[in-house]
Amino acid sequence: MLIPLFDGVQPLDVVGPHEVLAGAGRLLEHRGVGPGYRVALVAQQPGPVRAHSGLQLVADGPLPESGPVGTLLVPGGTGTLTMSDGDPYVGWLRRTAERAERVVSVCTGAFALACAGLLDGLCATTHWHYAAELARAHPAVDVRADAIYLRQGRIWTAAGVTAGIDLALALVEADHGAEVAQQVARHLVVFLRRPGGQSQFAGPVWTPPARRPGVREAQDLIHGDPTADLRVSVLAARVGMSERHFSREFTRALGCPPGDYVEQVRVDTARRVLESEPVLVAVAAARAGFGSAETMRRAFLRRLGVPPDHYRRRFAVVHA
C-alpha cells in the first residue's frame, strides 16, 4: 500500500488506516497466513512532512513513477482543498491510479481524487463539513454526505478523519474476511461496522434566512415554535400564500420542501434535548413537536441513521 503525503496532511487519516493494516498484518503473520500488508509513506521529497496540526510524518521515499501498486490510499487535510488539476501531486495520482489495483481516499482526500478526474460519474463521500463544497467544485461527482465510506468498483472513499479506520477495516474484511477484520476492530476498541451515518456527528445545519418575505416569515414560525401546527396548509395560510405557491417558493428559496425543513428543525431540537437533559424519549419528542416517540424515531432513522435512544447514549452530556 502506498500513502502519498503532502504538506497540510491530516495525520489521523494516515495513522488510523496504518494501525488497522499493521494490526491485520501481525494477526495474519501469527496465523502463518502470509506477510500481511506492506505500507509505505511517500512524498515528493523523502523525509519529514508537516501535517496541518504541526505533527511531522516521515516519508520513506519519493513518489514512485513505476512498479506495481496494490492499494493507493490518499489522505485528506487542508492541503487537498487548494489542489488543482495542474498540481504535480494530482498529476502523479492520475498516473499512479492507472496501475493501482485499488484507489482509496480518506476525508478530503476525495478532493485530490476528484481533481485527478478519478471520481467523475461515481458516488463518493468526504467529511460532512466539506461535502457541499466537493459537490460544488466537482459537479461530475455524486457526493453522498452521510456515508461513512463508499465503494465504487476499485474506488473507495471515506468520510472524515476517524472514518479512515472504518474504511481500512472494510479493506481488511474484503481481503481476508470478517473474522480477521473483527479481531482487529476489537483490538482497536472500535466497531467493525459503525452504526448510523456521519450526519449524526454533524452539528445542526444553520440555514440562512430567505430573502423572500413570505418564506422568511415561515422560517421564523418554524424555528420560533417547532411544536406548533406546521402543516404546509397552515404555514401557507399564515404567510398569505396559496399552498401550491408557498411550497414552490419555499423549495426554490431553501432547496427543500417545507415539510422536510420542518422535520429537520424538529430533529435538531430533539437532538439538543437528548444531548443536554435526562428526559424520556417521549418527552423529547413532545418538546420537539413530534406527534409521538415513534414518529420521532422514524425521523431520526431517516436523518441520522440511528434511533433516538442510541443517539442519546452516544452524545448525551453526563450529569453529575
Q: Which residues are catalytic?
A: 107
Q: Which three cell numbers stand for residue 303?
A: 436523518
The owner of cell 502470509 is 34
Beta-strand ranges (E) seen in the chain are 2-4, 40-43, 47-50, 56-59, 61-62, 69-74, 100-105, 123-124, 142-143, 149-152, 155-158
The number of beta carbons lying within 10 Å of the beta carbon of residue 101 is 10
Distance CA 30, CA 152 (A): 32
Distance CA 299, CA 316 (A): 19
Distance CA 65, CA 190 (A): 36
Distance CA 230, CA 283 (A): 19
**Residue 252: helix, strand or coil by DSSP?**
helix
Distance CA 212, CA 245 (A): 13
